[in-house]
Amino acid sequence: MRKASKLSEVARLAGVSPITASRAIRGTGYVSSEARERIMAAAAQLNYTPDMLARRMRGDKSKLIGVFLNNYGPVVLHELVRHIGEQARKLDYDLLLFNADRFDSPERMVTCGTLAKLCDGLLLVMPTAGDGFLDLAARQQLSCALVCFDAGQLALPTLVLENRAGARAAVEHLLGLGHRRIGFIAGSARTGQSLERERGYADALAAAGIAFDAALVREGGFNQPGGFAAAGQLLDLARPPSAIFAANDEMAFGAIDAIASRGLKVPGDVSVAGFDDIPTASYVFPRLTTMRPPYEALAARAVREVVDLIEGGVPAAARIPFATELVVRDSTAPARD
C-alpha cells in the first residue's frame, strides 16, 4: 500500500509554502487563483487526502453531518435519509451514515465515538429507546437532534410525527366507512412510535363508543413478513375484523398478502390502511390508503436544527411535531352489511 502523501510534499511540488497549500486545500484565507490551481493539481498528482480527524482536532469544520441509525431496514428510513441528504447539500454539508444495533454496545462504542468526533453534528434517526448513547449526547450537549423518536423527551431537539393524531385519523376513516371491528398491527417498541399509534387507534374506538379488544391487536415488527403473520392471526379469530390498520405500510402490504392468501378480497372483504406513505404504497394492488408524513419539511427542519447547533446554538429539550395527512386510495371501502 502506497504511503499517504504529506501536505509538505504538495507544497514543494506546487512551489508554495505549506501554509499557502493548507489555505488552498481548506478553502480558507486568501490564495491567488493561479497558486490555488497549482496546489490542487499537485494534490491530485500526489493523491493527497487531508487528514479529516486531525483537522477536526484543530477545530476545523468537517462539513459532515452524521446520520446514526439503529436499524437501516424499514423503507421509511430510506425516504428520510434521502430527504435529509438533499437538505444537507443545500447547506453545503455531506452525510456520514453509521448503522448499528446499538451505539452503546462494547463492540460499537469506539467506532461511534470516533465518528461522532469526525462530524460537526449528528442526527439520530429513529433511535432505540434505552440506548445509552442518547443520554450521553444530551449530557455532553452534542450538536445533535433526534428524528422520529416518540419514546420520551431528552435535552435535545426532537422532531416527531404526530403519531397518535395520525393513527386516530386513519381509524376514524375506517369507522366512517362503517367498520366496527378493526384490527391493529403494531410495530416494535424501539422508537415509541408504534405505542403512540396504538393509542391513537384506541382513542378513535373510544370516541365511537367501541370497547378496546386486546384480541384485535397483534405485533408485526414493522416488516412485511410480520404483517403477513399478524394479519393471519387476526383472520383466524372466531370473529375476524372487517378492517385492519397497520402501524406502517410494510406491515399493511403483508396484511394485504395474507388476506389474498385466504381467497379474500381487499377491500371487498377486508379494508386495510397503513402509515408512512412510502413510494410503493401507490403501486401495490390495491393502492394503499395510508397516512402521509411531510418528509421534506421534517428533513429540512432536522438539518436546520443541527446546523444551528453547529453554529453555536445550545441543545435544549424541544418537541417539534409534524402532522400527517390521510391519503385515501383503493384499499379501503364501506363495510359489508
Instruction: Identify the architecture of domain 163-293 in CATH.
Output: 3-Layer(aba) Sandwich (3.40)
The dihedral through the CA atoms of 153, 154, 155, 161 has a sign that is negative
Domain positions in the chain are: 7-50, 64-162+295-324, 163-293
Which run of H or of E encompasses 109? Answer: helix 109-118
**Which of 258, 277, 176 has its CA nearest to residue 218?**
258
Rounded Cα distance, 223 and 246, in Å: 10
8 Å CB contact between 163 and 197: yes
Within 8 A by CB and 6+ apart from 178, the residues are: 334, 335
8 Å CB contact between 283 and 68: no
Model confidence over 149-159: pLDDT tens digits? 999 999 999 99
Q: What is the pLDDT of residue 238?
A: 97
* Positions of the chain with pLDDT under 50: 1-2, 57-58
The cell for 324 is: 400527517
Q: What class is the 64-162+295-324 domain?
A: alpha beta
Backbone angles phi, psi at 292, to 5 degrees: -100, 115
Q: What is the pLDDT of residue 23?
A: 79
Which run of H or of E encompasses 252? Answer: helix 249-261
Within 8 A by CB and 6+ apart from 10, the residues are: 21, 25, 39, 42, 43, 46, 48
**Which of 293, 235, 299 has its CA nearest to residue 261?**
235
Q: At what angle do helices 18-26 and 7-14 cross, to 10 degrees?
A: 100
Q: What is the pLDDT of residue 1?
A: 38
